[in-house]
């Protein structure tokens, strides 16, 4: 087993029995697939519900039980040939490729671009009218106006999924802990399950992020993790602004609001550009701006404090406006940045030792009587400034807080 495998993949249900919650919805979906015939009036189902409750998962699990699941992205198909190819002739394709039945999955149709009849919505309507196979569509927000024509269509049945209840989430977490030989304080699992807001995927990802490299899970570990979680939220908001806004000031401000390490933010933008730009010229332009931003970033880091920071406005301008205005053709589409987060978390923050951070937080807490999260958020940035600039004070503080050498170095390098 790959060490850094994401637990939502590692522990993803393989059969419908293993899927937690929403039994009624699941049964409706199974019935729809089993009883599908081109003579039926209902051609497709729209699975609608909050994120992370297993909607896409359900489609995949059912699809893998003896079907060819064809997954298509509605925003990418605009022409009739492509649609015809997808909905194609069942008998012909069936006999050549396999005897399996096909299922067409159009995931996240509420994220598709284009007004009603043009763009993605038009493509989906076309698929529904021609299909020779069952069509499964998914959406987080069934009431999104963009998809009203699909939701209200008389060939579509809407199936609702609900949030997963806290107890069920906790059971899944406990089960994963057992399999990973991790002993967790009850309070930790309660807290993760409770703050997931019914989103099982989020809970599993949180557990993995907190538990990485640990055999015992304590509340202090969780508090240190929450610090990163809040930071992530700020990143996502800023990314969304950069890729959706047209107002220059708002775009510039977004970079400031992200309030984080510039290098990390550059990486985030780098990762998300291909999601928002499909045109070659757009890609060329945006990566050009980004690489210039990266050069400034390197200079700022190398130069002495003052001289370096004078370049900051250029860096901000290039990575915000430069990238933002490179998108001239591709319509804005909603991207779930958090789905990229786990990988980032392990790559970047993971190597930045979270165990050390938790210990530092605990030591600050002991002396200052605040929560670990507050210790990291509100106290650590100041300690960092002191540690970086005043050697004598650093010694005094380190002694008072009882920091080890390793922790002292960590604080010196810490950037929030």
Q: Where does this chain bind ligand ATP (CB under 6 A)?
A: 8, 11-13, 19-21, 51-57, 140, 164, 200-201, 204
Smallest separation (angstroms) from ligand ATP to the CB of 124:
17
Smallest separation (angstroms) from ligand ATP to the CB of 183:
22
Chosen from ligand ATP, Mg ion, none, partner binding at 140 (C-beta under 5 to 8 Å by type): ligand ATP
Closest residue to ligand ATP in the complex (CB): 54
Smallest separation (angstroms) from ligand ATP to the CB of 11:
6
Smallest separation (angstroms) from ligand ATP to the CB of 193:
13
Residue span binding Mg ion (CB under 5 A) among the ranges 52-60, 152-160, 357-365, 388-396: 52-60
Smallest separation (angstroms) from Mg ion to the CB of 170:
22
Chosen from ligand ATP, Mg ion, none, partner binding at 263 (C-beta under 5 to 8 Å by type): none
Residue 120 structure tokens: 């993605």
Contact 208, 350 (CB under 8 A): no
Chosen from ligand ATP, Mg ion, none, partner binding at 82 (C-beta under 5 to 8 Å by type): none
Provide the edge-to-edge strand list for the sheet that holds 67-72.
Answer: 67-72, 101-106, 135-139, 44-48, 156-160
Q: Is 239 exposed, middle or buried (0-12, 13-18, 19+ CB in 10 A)?
A: buried
Which residue lies nearer to ligand ATP by CB, 58 or 320?
58
Which residue lies nearer to ligand ATP by CB, 11 or 325?
11
Burial 22-54, CB ≥16 within 10 A → b, else e: beebbebbeebbeebeeeeebbbbbbbbebbbb
Q: Which helix (H) or strand (E) holds 71?
A: strand 67-72
Q: What are the residues whose beta carbons fall under 8 Å from the beta carbon of 172, sequence distance 6 or more?
A: 11, 20, 200, 203, 204
Chosen from ligand ATP, Mg ion, none, partner binding at 326 (C-beta under 5 to 8 Å by type): none
Contact 223, 344 (CB under 8 A): no
Contact flag: residue 56 with Mg ion (CB under 5 A) = yes
Residue appearing with tokens 């107002």? 247
Contact flag: residue 22 with Mg ion (CB under 5 A) = no
Chosen from Mg ion, ligand ATP, none, partner binding at 21 (C-beta under 5 to 8 Å by type): ligand ATP
Smallest separation (angstroms) from ligand ATP to the CB of 212:
17
Which residue lies nearer to ligand ATP by CB, 8 or 324?
8
Give me the long-range contacts of 252-258 (CB less than 8 A, separation at least 24): 252/316, 252/317, 252/320, 252/321, 254/320, 255/316, 255/319, 255/320, 256/316, 258/234
Residues found near Mg ion in the complex (CB under 5 A): 56
């Amino acid at each position: 087993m790959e060490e850094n495998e994401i637990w939502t993949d590692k522990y993803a249900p393989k059969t419908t029995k293993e899927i937690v919650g929403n039994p009624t919805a699941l049964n409706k979906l199974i019935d729809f697939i089993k009883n599908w015939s081109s003579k039926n009036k209902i051609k497709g189902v729209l699975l609608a519900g909050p994120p992370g409750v297993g909607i896409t998962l359900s489609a995949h699990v059912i699809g893998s039980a003896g079907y060819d699941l064809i997954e298509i992205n509605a925003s990418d198909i605009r022409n009739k040939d492509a649609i015809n190819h997808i909905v194609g002739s069942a008998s012909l394709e069936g006999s050549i490729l396999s005897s399996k039945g096909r299922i067409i999955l159009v995931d996240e149709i509420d994220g598709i671009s284009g007004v009603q009849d043009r763009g993605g919505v038009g493509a989906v309507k076309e698929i529904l009218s021609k299909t020779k196979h069952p069509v499964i569509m998914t959406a987080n927000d069934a009431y999104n106006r963009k998809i009203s024509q699909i939701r209200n269509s008389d060939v579509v049945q809407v199936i609702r999924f609900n949030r997963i209840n806290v107890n069920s989430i906790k059971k899944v977490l406990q089960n994963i802990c057992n399999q990973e030989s991790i002993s967790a304080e009850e309070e930790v699992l309660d807290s993760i399950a409770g703050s997931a807001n019914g989103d099982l995927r989020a809970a599993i990802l949180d557990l993995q992020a907190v538990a990485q490299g640990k055999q015992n899970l304590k509340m202090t570990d969780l508090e240190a993790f929450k610090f990163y979680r809040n930071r992530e939220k700020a990143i996502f908001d800023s990314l969304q602004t950069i890729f959706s806004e047209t107002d220059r000031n708002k775009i510039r401000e977004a970079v400031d609001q992200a309030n984080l390490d510039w290098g990390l933010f550059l990486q985030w933008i780098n990762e998300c550009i291909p999601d928002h730009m499909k045109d070659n010229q757009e890609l060329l332009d945006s990566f050009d701006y980004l690489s210039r931003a990266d050069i400034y970033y390197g200079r700022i880091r190398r130069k002495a404090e003052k001289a370096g920071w004078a370049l900051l406005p250029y860096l901000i301008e290039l990575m915000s406006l430069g990238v933002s205005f490179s998108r001239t053709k591709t319509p804005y589409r909603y991207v779930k940045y958090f789905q990229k987060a786990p990988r980032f978390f392990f790559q970047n923050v993971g190597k930045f030792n979270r165990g050390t951070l938790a210990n530092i937080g605990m030591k600050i807490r002991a002396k200052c009587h605040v929560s670990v999260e507050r210790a990291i958020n509100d106290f650590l940035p100041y300690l960092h400034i002191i540690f970086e600039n005043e050697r004598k004070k650093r010694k005094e503080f380190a002694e008072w807080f009882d920091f080890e050498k390793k922790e002292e170095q960590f604080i010196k390098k810490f950037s929030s």
